[in-house]
Amino acid sequence: MSDLARFMQARQWMKSNENFLVTWHAHVGYTMHLFDAFKSKRTVRDAAATYFLDEELLQCWVDVGLEIGHLKGKRDGKIRAVKSMLKYASASSPESVGILLREMMELHIPTLLEYPERMKSGIYRTYAGDAFGEVVAETSSLLEKAAVPAVLKCVKKHKPESVLDLGCGSGGYLSHIYEETSGVKLQGVEINEAVAKKAARRLNGRAEIFVGSISQFMEQTKQTYSMVMAHNILYYYPPSERTHLLKEFHRVLEKKGVVTIITPLMGAAAGQTFTTAFNAFMTAHTNLYPIPVQSELIKDAKEAGLKVKQIEPLIREGGWYLITLTK
């Protein structure tokens, strides 16, 4: 009976790995532009010759794609990518979400696979911000699509005269605020120079972009703001420094001003499967830090002189929340 139980458990784990194959196949197709290669019907041999690829390995990738439904095979031996993969997993598509696959497969999953070695050695990874800064900025822009309506709702309610976006990425939030309001002074802060240049091009003089760290900006600025946005930045600060960071928000915030924080939350009601895995990834680095715990964030905000007005889930599956604080 125990042998049968072991077999059933092994079978269950094998079955669960089918989802990984779907992600792996899409990631390879995205990074190698293979869905574009099979946009029109063609043979594997033709594609391998045209793109200078190993034919045997390409055939293996194609075989997986045919099984999981990413590709369709014709009787004449020609292969074609399905429309959904061309739309969502092609780097040339404006609707592509393939950048998320890159972050998962090249950053998150390798870190999680290293856990046995890291736990034994106690040697943590160092997050390479220069190498992955643009990737992370692009994946954050996907989150913006879910978050922008909630942020604009907050803007409409509080009617800020000035907005400071700390860790502004490629300027998505500031761009939407500019489009929906008039006469609002916009300031962004971005540490990655390449990403900051993208933000400057996107905003085209409609906002000032400071290139440097948040601490550098805070040390230099003499300005105060009606609204401070701190989206996807708390896990770049150790828990011991978060109260001070919130106090800095309080310092540059005008009376009755508002702070919006977007972050996954440990100990919240929704999305804890993703959040705990994301927390495992963050904690395995020397320069990234654990996901905020909801109760601790509320305590830190109170100590900084900020009132928690709202904690609203943005993406329940991922455990992402919008936290609104006021002075």
Based on the number of CB atoms within 10 Å of its own CB, is 25 exposed (0-12), middle (13-18) or buried (19 or more)? Answer: buried
pLDDT at residue 1 tops 70: no
pLDDT of residue 31: 96
Please tell me the class of the 2-91 domain. Answer: mainly alpha
Structure tokens belonging to residue 106: 């090249």
Distance (Å, rounded) from C-alpha 72 to C-alpha 67?
9
| pLDDT, position 111 | 96
C-alpha span between 101 and 21 (Å, rounded): 12
CA 140/CA 172 separation, integer angstroms: 9
Condensed to tens digits (0 to 9), the pLDDT of residues 231-270 reads 999 999 999 999 999 999 999 999 999 999 999 999 988 8
**Residue with structure tokens 């939350």?**
265
| Separation CA 35–CA 86 (nearest Å) | 6
Closest CA to 46 of 86, 77, 70: 77
pLDDT above 90 covers a percentage of the chain that reads 83
Q: What is the pTM of this model?
A: 0.88
Equal fold, 2-91 vs 129-326 = no
Place of tokens 């928690």: 308
Each residue of 4-46: pLDDT tens digit?
888 888 888 888 888 899 999 999 999 999 999 999 999 999 9
Other C-beta atoms closer than 10 Å to the C-beta of 205 total 7
What is the rounded CA–CA span in Å between residue 273 and residue 269? 11
Confidence (pLDDT) at 288: 96
Angle at 72 between CA 22 and CA 47, to 5 degrees: 90
Q: How far is CA 106 from CA 31, 43, 99, 112, in A?
A: 11, 29, 10, 11
Rg (CA), the chain: 23
pLDDT at 213 over 80: yes
- pLDDT tens per residue across span 153-210: 999 999 999 999 999 999 999 999 999 998 999 999 999 999 999 999 999 999 999 9
Our measurement of the distance from residue 8's CA atom to the centroid of its chain's CA atoms, rounded to an integer in Å, reads 36
| Calpha distance 178→161 (Å, rounded) | 11
Give residue limits of the domains in the chain: 2-91, 129-326
Domain 129-326 class in CATH: alpha beta
**How far out from the chain centre does Cα 60 lie?**
30
DSSP state of 230: E
Give the strand order in the sheet containing 253-264.
208-211, 185-190, 162-166, 225-231, 253-264, 320-326, 307-315
User: What would the mean pLDDT of 41-52 be, rounded to a whole number?
Assistant: 97
